[in-house]
Every structure is written in C-alpha cells, then in structure tokens.
C-alpha cells in the first residue's frame, strides 16, 4: 500500500520567514495530494491540494510543488504569521477503483511561528 | 450548512464499556469515513462507507463496528472499549467522485 513520509516533524520559524514542509510517497499511482492544517482542538482543514498533472499551485502565501519523478511534494508558506502555527498534514490519494479514493496521511509537522 | 458534526466532544469510558460515536453531515456526501489520530501516528483510517448500506474496513478496523442506514449518519461503535482505543476520532465526508475530504471537529476518547 501507499506510504507517506513527512519531514520535519517540528519546525520553528520567526514571523515573516518562510516555512517548507516536505513529503514523499511510494505509490506511483497516487494522483492527488492535499495538505491539511489542524489547529489545536479542531479537525483538519484542507488548505491546498494539487493533482499529478500540475507541477505547482499557489494560493496567496501558500504554494505546493510536486515532483512526480522523484515522488515528492512540498508545502511552502511565505511571510509566516503567528496564526499559521498549527500541525500540517500531507496526504496522497490513489483510486482503488469505483471512485474509492484512499487517503494516506503523513505523520504531521508542528509549525510554530514565533512573533 | 453545518458540515460534518460529531458528538460527543469528549468521553471517558472504563475498560469493557461500550459506546457509540456519532457523526452526521448535511452536504449529501456519499462517502463517509472514520479516522483515529494518535501522537506521532498521523491519521489512520478505521472504516469507511461509499453509500447507505455499504461499509468496508480501513487500516485499523479491529474493535470497531460501523453501519450506514442513511446518507447523513455514520456512527462508530466500540463494543468493549480497551485502553488502546484512547485516541481522538475524526469523521470525514466527501462526494463520491471527488477526493477532497471534509473533517468534523473530533471526539476525544479516554479509556481507563
């Protein structure tokens, strides 16, 4: 089955700096890669996603890049703010047939943005 | 829309007790799923359903039962709770033909 590795497990940056979180996946059939943000005591919320036919996607201060050949994808947050502090999860999805998309999650990165 | 709702928010059980975690969604999503979240383990799939009357096992199904009698509801049952089931449980839903899942706020379960 799919295996998703996420690094680093913790990341501390100064406000205004950039943050990068990296994930690798094992199943070449995976074709959808979402990123979720989880604030303390809340459920994961989708912040950005990318499909395998796209190399990069941006949404304001957040961007995701995908390298299909190397099987890795990354989340980039620019001009970080204290409210960006949260746990971030990457995931990879493949279709097992019949729209049975199965999400496999990384173990998460705790991002702390220091004022 | 309320999205995905879960009850209760927090529960303490004794070993051997049973309980049902409730999950409901008002987005008419065919697909619903349950995950557990443990420190350092990420989110692991317990059970999922692609529609009313259809359920299947995920990665860690042992000790849990599910049923799907309506599109809206997908309860998770613990028949005999064990300390290893102490975790935070998340319910999620999505349209069947799309990959994006929407998560509920979670239920924190402590089994003593």
What is the per-residue DSSP string for A29-95? T--EEEEEEE-TTS--EEEEEEETT-SEEEETTEEEEEETTTTEEEEEE-S--GGG-EEEEEEEEEE
Q: Cis omega (within 30 of 0) on the bond before A8?
A: yes
Contact of A53 with chain B, judged by CB distance below 8 Å, is answered with: no
Inter-chain touch A105–B43, beta carbons under 8 Å: yes
Residue of B nearest to A47 (CA): B100
Q: What is the pLDDT of residues B5-57, one digit of tens each?
A: 999 999 999 999 999 999 999 999 999 999 999 988 889 999 999 999 999 99
Size of interface A-B (CB pairs under 8 A): 48
The pLDDT value recorded for residue A97 is 58
The 8-class DSSP code of residue A17 comes to S
The pLDDT value recorded for residue A64 is 97
A98 chain-B contacts, CB cut-off 8 A = 50
Q: What is the pLDDT of residues A55-76, one digit of tens each?
A: 999 999 999 999 999 999 999 9
CA dist A88 → A39, A53, A77, B69, B76 (Å): 9, 23, 11, 33, 26
The pLDDT value recorded for residue A78 is 97
- Tell me what the pLDDT averaged over chain A comes to: 92
């Amino acid at each position: 089955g799919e295996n998703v590795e996420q690094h680093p497990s913790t990341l501390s940056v100064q406000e205004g700096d950039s943050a990068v979180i990296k994930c690798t996946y094992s199943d070449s059939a995976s074709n959808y890669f979402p990123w979720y943000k989880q604030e303390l005591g809340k459920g994961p919320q989708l912040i950005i996603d990318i499909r395998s036919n796209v190399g990069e996607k941006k949404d304001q201060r957040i961007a995701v890049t995908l390298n299909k050949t190397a099987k890795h994808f990354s989340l980039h947050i620019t001009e970080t703010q204290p409210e960006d502090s949260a746990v971030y999860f990457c995931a990879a999805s493949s279709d097992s047939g019949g729209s049975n998309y199965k999400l496999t999650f990384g173990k998460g990165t705790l991002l702390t943005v220091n004022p | 829309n309320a999205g995905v709702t879960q009850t209760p928010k927090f529960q303490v059980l004794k070993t051997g007790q049973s309980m049902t975690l409730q999950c409901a969604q008002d987005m008419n999503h065919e697909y619903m799923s349950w995950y557990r979240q443990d420190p350092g383990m990420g989110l692991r799939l317990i059970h999922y359903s692609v529609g009313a009357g259809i359920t299947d096992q995920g990665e860690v199904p042992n000790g849990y039962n599910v049923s799907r009698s309506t599109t809206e509801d997908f309860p998770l049952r613990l028949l005999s709770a064990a300390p290893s089931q102490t975790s935070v449980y998340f319910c999620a839903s999505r349209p069947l033909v799309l990959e994006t899942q929407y998560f509920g706020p979670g239920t924190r379960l402590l089994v003593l």
